[in-house]
């Protein structure tokens, strides 16, 4: 009886707020970071839009509306990106010919998501986390180590990697803006009004994550990094740790998933998810 009463009292407690150290006061989307990064948003999500992107590329989405096949839409999207951002005409985009040409050719949205898939703590991962900070206002918590010390070597290495990854690119952040917007478009077509997807993340230790609140029945409220990998395949999550975090992820916080662009990445079950506070269930193998 006492345990039941304690559980009821805990359920009535307000969810912990997003720590001030985890977000910026401004961002470039339709909700402030303190709201979109909170637990209430996870429970009651709404669409997120990066300022002006859908309107600026309205012609693309009108074209996609008329295409019934997902693979056809994906190809049209990639063709649009190539032409719009001059990805195959770098001199016309302002690049001076020279020995850095090859690396700049690869510095596009496809290179970023491929690089994330191979190593989320590499240069491409730093670029994506920095993009998430500027667009959604959620600060990175980890990149090849904890980022809590803003004067520390790990944090400065993270800033350096992100800066070098963006240098002399063809509006790389704008490419990522449109990739996220296209991802949201495809999720809406595939899942309709569904506001969440159940996703899984394998871990070895719970202390790999910042715990905001411990709750009954194996539930915890945790603060994730500002960008994270999940999978829609529970068996796949088993391969990455002894524990599995199970959570309902708002579709509006999915930045990219592998089958969005067929043939671009190995496998079709990884989802790259914008972070913040989440309630998760913890299960052992």
pLDDT at 260: 95
pLDDT at 1: 47
Q: Is the pLDDT of residue 29 over 90?
A: yes
Give pLDDT tens digits for 202-228: 988 877 789 999 887 778 999 999 999
Which one, of 204, 228, 195, 227, lies nearest residue 282 by Cα?
204
Give pLDDT tens digits for 44-75: 999 999 999 999 999 999 999 999 999 999 99
Mean pLDDT of the chain: 89
Alpha-carbon distance 247 to 234, whole Å? 12
DSSP 267: -
* Cβ–Cβ < 8 Å for 201, 245: yes
Residues 6+ apart with CB under 8 A from 260: 74, 182, 183, 186
Give pLDDT tens digits for 106-165: 689 999 999 999 999 999 999 999 999 999 999 999 999 999 999 999 999 999 999 999
Q: Is the pLDDT of residue 232 over 80?
A: yes
DSSP 169: -
* H-state helical runs in the chain: 2-12, 33-36, 39-43, 53-56, 58-65, 70-84, 101-106, 109-118, 123-136, 153-166, 172-191, 234-238
DSSP 198: E
């Amino acid at each position: 009886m006492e345990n039941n009463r304690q559980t009821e009292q805990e359920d009535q407690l307000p969810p912990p707020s997003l720590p001030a150290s985890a977000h910026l006061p401004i961002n470039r989307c339709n909700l402030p970071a303190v709201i979109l990064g909170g637990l209430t948003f996870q429970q009651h999500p709404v669409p997120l839009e990066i300022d002006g992107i859908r309107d600026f590329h309205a012609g693309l989405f009108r074209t996609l509306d008329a295409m019934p096949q997902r693979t056809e839409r994906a190809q049209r999207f990639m063709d649009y990106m190539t032409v719009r951002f001059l990805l195959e005409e770098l001199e016309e985009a302002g690049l001076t010919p020279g020995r850095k040409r090859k690396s700049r050719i690869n510095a596009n949205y496809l290179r970023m998501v491929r690089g994330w898939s191979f190593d989320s703590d590499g240069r491409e991962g730093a670029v994506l986390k920095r993009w998430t900070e500027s667009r959604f206002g959620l600060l990175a918590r980890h990149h090849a180590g904890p980022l809590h010390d803003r004067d520390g070597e790990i944090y400065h290495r993270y800033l350096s990697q992100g800066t070098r990854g963006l240098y002399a690119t063809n509006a790389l952040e704008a490419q990522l803006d449109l990739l996220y917007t296209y991802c949201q478009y495809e999720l809406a077509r595939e899942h309709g009004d569904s506001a969440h997807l159940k996703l899984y993340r394998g871990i070895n230790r719970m202390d790999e994550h910042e715990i905001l609140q411990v709750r009954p029945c194996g539930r915890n409220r945790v603060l994730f990094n500002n960008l994270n990998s999940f999978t829609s395949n529970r068996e796949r999550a088993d391969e990455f740790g002894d524990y599995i975090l199970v959570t309902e992820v708002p579709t509006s916080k999915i930045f990219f998933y592998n089958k969005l662009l067929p043939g671009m990445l190995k496998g079709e079950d990884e989802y790259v998810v914008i972070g913040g506070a989440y309630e998760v269930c913890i299960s052992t193998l």
